[in-house]
Structure 1
Amino acid sequence: IYSDKIEFSYDVFVVLSLSFLFNTLYILYTNVLSLEEKTAKYKMFGFLFATLVNIPLSYFLTLRYGILGSAVSTMLSCIFAAFILYALVNTKVKQHYLLKESIGFLLSACMTASIVVYLNTHLAIF
């Protein structure tokens, strides 16, 4: 059952899992921007910037690395979108919403991912 295709798919899965992590932060910050009517329009800017980053990255990375390049471009655009919206939340709303929670979420998710990757590479559990 095990083949090189499954091993390659695992790499794509790990990259996409990390992109979902940052997409969760993006959604969190869009909800914070929706709390006030005057800042709701800034959600569009985060989405627009993420799209403008994702399109050229997807094109070039997919040509060079295939599906793994596409996954990496998705992850990078999610990181960029989360960062842009975090900056917009802190400058436009002028409050540091969820800073501790966001850092805690990122640290716990990275620790969990590190444990899973370690178990997979050293113990071949997953």
Structure 2
Amino acid sequence: MFFTIDELVRWLGLTVFEIWINLISFLIFTIMLAVKYDPDIDLYSNNWWMIFFPLFTGDALNTYFCVIIFIRMLSEMTLRTSLLRVSWSGTFLLMTFLFKFLLCKKLLGQISLDYSEVFAPLYILLQLIAVRACQQS
């Protein structure tokens, strides 16, 4: 059974626009990753930062969008709702950015963390999503 868009928006706390930005950036990342491992093309030989660039760009665009939404919600005098939204979006963006950053550093060999430590932000985010899903009616 597939989730509907309404369920995804409610559980993830993201808008449809933010989900599209994430999907497009992940598609570009996947294409660049496939090009990296193609033996005939030596475009991104050892530059993981360039391969992860679409994901970081997607995070930056989502952050910009969240700031705009926060300012618009504040101008409409919905302080509590805007603070809840910006705290959830900020946590979501911080955890995903931290995971991507640590994974890129691990792949380059710049840090000596285990993969369980690299994936820790995603584990935390999954726990928060589970709690949020249980709170929804």
Relative to the length of structure 2, the TM-score reads 0.35
Relative to the length of structure 1, the TM-score reads 0.37
Higher RCO (C-alpha 8 Å, min separation 6): 1
